[in-house]
Chains A and B, each alone.
Chain A
Amino acid sequence: MVDAFLNASGREMSLKDKFFEFNWGFLLLIFAIASMGIAMLYSVAEGNFDPWASRQAVRFGIGVCVLFVVAFVDIRVWMNLAYPAYGLALALLIGVEFIGFRGMGAQRWIDLGFIQLQPSELMKITLILALARYFHGLTLDQVSRIRFLVVPALMIGVPFYLTLRQPDLGTAMLIAIVGVVLLFMAGLAWRYFIVGGLAALGAIPVAWGMLHEYQKQRVLTFLDPESDPLGSGYHILQSKIALGSGGVFGKGFMEGTQSHLNFLPEKHTDFIFTMLAEELGLVGGLTLLGLYVMVLMFGLTVGLQTRNQFGRLLAIGVTVNFFLYIFINTAMVMGLVPVVGVPLPLVSYGGTAMLTLMFGFGFLMSVYIHRNYEITRNPGAFW
């Protein structure tokens, strides 16, 4: 039994080994991204570290600590914690129904005193853990069998439904997409995706009927932003103006007119990319996107180098989650998708997002450090 837990070289890794296996380049990469974010928050506050930049820096610092801790914990520990963690997140998600704090018209937060916890945020990361854990235990043949699909369908469906009810369409969609991508990476047969895709298309009219009025409005506004330039379309229009007017080299750091004269809404959170692209131009925007691509490629590489299925799926899950954030946020501010409240990872101001993100990167790094561990399909408890 013990053999099953050994790495390729046949021995357990010491803390020193792990320290040397840690990918310091990756840390530099996310440090660079976070720095761009902090710089933009400094600009939002008209050249002040207060109130956003300094706090964001502190959060990032805490986040890096979390990353280290999570990364150095044995991957098998995380594997064993996968189901309990998922259970806890699910319980909290149900909990917001009763003790949740209403903010922005939706029930999303639980106030724990020191932090306002968003259970849906926690759910995304624990869902990845749980799905990775589940598929780790299946052979490729089993994955595509219907009876083995009941459990993952519930694992995805229940939180999806609960988040949708809050209502938080954005996060619900993210949960669904992450879940589906993990099914895909686990090797679910193509036919499911074809049938599922067609079913989803057919369900669009039904889903439309179930949407809240403000959600419908967002979609409609997105489809024709000029129809209501002073109402719902205002944000998209102003964001496009800010982006476009930035040009190739931007208006200069702290010189963004759209941002500083408040034509741009929510510029320290959801629309921070617009501000960056306005002040630093196409060059600045593409630089940030380039850094993101490097993170994504790193995540993919980790998956490909890992010798256990749990780690592979975990790495891919974390990466895809990260990717979805970037895509939805940037596509939104460019007017490619409807306005959805999704922060730009590592850059937007926000505590919970930063923390869960660094947790995710901790998992990714843990997978990377322990990539040579081979784990049996049914390892039992490892403590």
Chain B
Amino acid sequence: MLTDGTDNARFKTFSRRAAILGGAQLLVFGGLASRMYYLQVLKSSEYQMLAEENRVNMRLLAPLRGEILDRFGTVLASNRQNFRVLLIPEQTPDIEETLTKLNRVVPLSETQWKRVLRDARRSPAFLPITVSENLSWQQFAQVNIHEPDLAGIEPDVGETRHYPHGPALAHVVGYVAPVSENDLGDEDPLLKLPGFRIGKSGLERRLDRELRGAAGASHVEVNAYGRVIRELSKDPGTPGSKVVLTLDMDLQKFATERLAGEAAAAVVMDIHNGEVLASVSTPAYDPNDFNVGLSQATWNGLIENPYKPLVNKTIAGQYPPGSTFKMIVAAAAVDSGLINPNQKVHCTGKITLGNHDFHCWKRHGHGYVNMLESIMHSCDIYFYEIAKKIGIDRIEEMAHKFGLGETYEYEVPGEKPGLVPSRGWKRATTGAPWQQGETLIAGIGQGYLLTTPLQLAVMTSRLANGGKAVKPRLVRSVGDEGRFGEPAEPIGVSERALAIAREGMNLVSNHPRGTAFRARLNEPGMSLAGKTGTAQVRRITRAERESGVLTNEEVEWRRRDHALFVAYAPVEDPRYAVSVVVEHGGSGSRTAAPVARDIMRLALERDPSNRLAQAPQGPANSQIPSFQEG
């Protein structure tokens, strides 16, 4: 032994402790290995899922919204290329400078400017920010030319909804607009897509699901900073269904132009199948504005306009039907059996009930008139008398048979039911019992009665089609699926009552003394039968009546009478019904009837079955009419 003996003792201790140390190390490695087993085997699937969640981002792809076409294939709503300018912050050294340069090509508003700078601060620098949208082709071309000078600017083409006919269809087709908080409850993930638009009004709203289609998805691989590395898979989604309407765009356009400047509504309907060929409410708004984003000024202008451009007057405008209601009262009278249509009533210009006078529109009266004559002249006294005899219950029942006071599950949202008053209704709403005077007023379509232009068109259709409960329809097909109305059931009105009402309308338009004779349709193969209505808006005082009732021209616009006209055509073999309401338009015969006639003329011209030459028809018999039984 060259070293001292103490080394043996040290070595012994060392060996013992080395064994402990080695054992401890192996134990630690055992621990590490079991931890790895736990993470990589036991929990592996869980972590694999988390890793996939990290790695894969799903990006929704908006499907192309379905087009809306008229019955002949004219495009009513389509998707247009949206020329826009994007900014990718990381590609420019100075955003402000880039915007200054861009401003020379595409003028930017201050709000746009601020929004871009704010977005640039908030989102990752590689995400594009929309600077400006809906550029004109010229502007877009300019941007493309200057692109090399505009660091970080990227011209881009997106899709946006477009309504080529603008205001003419605003109330029927409606519009799309950005998703708002009110649209909660719709779970479609598409709604969370930035810039996504959904139907907010009209058919765009009612058929939104069908038009929207199903979202596509693109699965992309992203890194930790959210930058897209590559696309993993892509599902383009299902484009929205194409919707074909019953509308005839040419007729719609014509009616719109014909009513321009008025607060008015017109509906043209096929009396047999309920197809609506035109549905016009003026004034209107440009639905494209809502899609792009309405300015506060435009919005204020719309809601402050007394002509109420936002209201779809065809279904939400409720007007007293006035004399257009007289066919209903006449039919109720005939079917009641209490009235002989040929029995004459003496019209002196007024009748008295209790201590109240009821006036005819003709101050000194029509003399002796029977039912047909009273329709032709629109004599009020006659209808006061028969209304008094048959009572409100029969009138109410008949009004409902003709679709008044009803809604029709019409495709355009916002349908109002109007009002057909009854004893029960009055008691429930006012607590007071029904007064006989109110029956008289209802007899000439005034008082509580309210109808919409669509209801008036339905009423006229049911008169003209032989008492079938036809309902209005606007949608012919959605995608490949055709939509057909149910066969119309009889409404339960006698043929005789219908015939008298129709003959009355024929006289109105075609008898030289009819109230709408001047607005008759007297062209080869064409004819119409109509009824004027002048719905009183203001109350005429006794004093005014004695000093002479003011004419419509003498009172301010909002106190003038509503002008109404309903008609069907052709007289012999009816096909179409039309209703026209001009708010505060004065007299039905002077304002509404000519418009209805012009619309009907075009409808008949465009009717394929009417292209055959037909024998010209003269005016109806100019003798005093009376209804011939049988």
Is A244 touching B40 in the complex (CB atoms < 8 A)? yes
Residues of chain A contacted by B54 (CB below 8 angstroms)? 238, 241, 257-258, 261, 263
Interface string of B127-146 (1 = CB under 8 A from A): 00000000000000000000
B219-250 interface bits toward A, Cβ cutoff 8 Å, 1 = contact, 0 = none: 00111110001000000000000000000000
Question: A155 at interface (Cβ–Cβ under 8 A)?
Answer: no
Interface residue? A23 (CB, 8 A): no
Q: Which residues of A contact B10 (CB under 8 A)?
A: 139-140, 186-187, 309
Residues of A contacting B4 in the complex (Cβ-Cβ under 8 angstroms) = 376-377
Residues on the A chain within 8 Å of B40, using CB: 243-244, 246-248, 277, 281-282, 285
Partner-binding segment picked from B14-22, B329-337, B394-402, B435-443: B14-22
Contact call A293/B44, Cβ cutoff below 8 A: no
Of residues 303 to 327 in A, which have CB atoms within 8 Å of B's CB atoms? 303-304, 307-309, 312, 316, 320, 323, 327
Within 8 Å of chain B (Cβ to Cβ): is A297? yes
Chain A residue nearest to B229 (CB atoms) is: A261
For B7, the closest partner residue in chain A by CB is: A309
Contact-residue size bin, chain A (C-beta under 8 Å from the other chain): 35 or more
How far is B38's CA from A277's CA once the two chains are assembled, in angstroms? Answer: 13
Tell me the residues in window 284-313 of chain A with beta carbons closer than 8 Å to chain B beta carbons: 285-286, 289, 292-293, 296-297, 300, 303-304, 307-309, 312
Q: Is A94 an interface residue (CB 8 A)?
A: no
Q: How near does chain B come to A330, taking the closest CB pair, in angstroms?
A: 6
Question: Is there a chain B Cβ closer than 8 Å to A4's Cβ?
Answer: yes
Partner of B18, one of A244, A282, A304: A304
Query: Are B15's CB and A304's CB within 8 A?
Result: yes
B617: A residues at CB distance < 8 A: none
For the complex formed, measure the closest distance between the CB of A252 and the CB atoms of chain B, giving whole angstroms: 14
Within 8 A of A (CB), among B1-44: 2-4, 6-7, 9-11, 13-15, 17-18, 21-22, 25-26, 28-29, 31-33, 35-37, 39-41, 43-44
Please, which residues of chain A bring their CB within 8 A of the CB of B32? 289, 327, 330-331, 334, 336
Are A181 and B13 in touch, CB under 8 angstroms? no
Using a CB-CB cutoff of 8 Å, which residues 29-84 of chain B contact chain A? 29, 31-33, 35-37, 39-41, 43-44, 46-48, 50-52, 54-55
Instruction: Check B37–A282 contact: CB distance below 8 A.
Output: yes
Interface centre among A186, A257, A285, A374 (most CB of B within 10 A): A257
Query: In the docked arrangement, what's the CA distance between A307 and B1, Å?
Result: 12
Inter-chain contact A282/B14, CB cutoff 8 Å: no
A181 in contact with B21 (CB, 8 Å): yes
Closest to A375 in B: B3
Interface size class of B (residues with CB under 8 A): 35 or more
Q: Within 8 Å of chain B (Cβ to Cβ): is A213?
A: no
**CB-CB nearest in chain B for A281:** B40
Contacts of A248 in B (CB 8 A): 40-41, 44
Would B36 and A286 count as touching, CB distance under 8 A? yes
Min Cβ gap A128→B in Å is 14
- Contact: A140 with B9, CB < 8 Å? yes
Q: Is A116 an interface residue (CB 8 A)?
A: no
Residue A245 at the B interface, CB < 8 A?
Answer: yes
A139–B229 CA distance with the chains assembled, in angstroms: 66
A293 and B3 contact, CB distance less than 8 A: no
Do A327 and B28 touch (CB < 8 A)?
A: yes
Nearest Cβ distance between residue B547 and chain A, in whole angstroms? 84
A294 to chain B, nearest CB (A): 11
A227 within 8 Å of B (CB atoms): no
> Given A261-B224, A375-B3, does the pair A240, B47 have CB atoms closer than 8 Å?
yes
B29 neighbours in A (Cβ, 8 Å): 289, 292-293
**A202 and B156 alpha carbons, distance in the complex (Å):** 68
Per the bound structure, the CA–CA distance linking A262 and B484 in Å amounts to 59
Show 8 residue pairs from A and B whose CB-CB distance is below 8 angstroms, ordered by the A residue. A139-B9, A140-B13, A184-B21, A244-B48, A247-B44, A285-B40, A334-B32, A376-B2
Give 9 closest A-B pairs by Cβ, nearest first: A244-B47, A245-B51, A262-B224, A187-B13, A261-B223, A139-B6, A282-B40, A245-B48, A244-B39
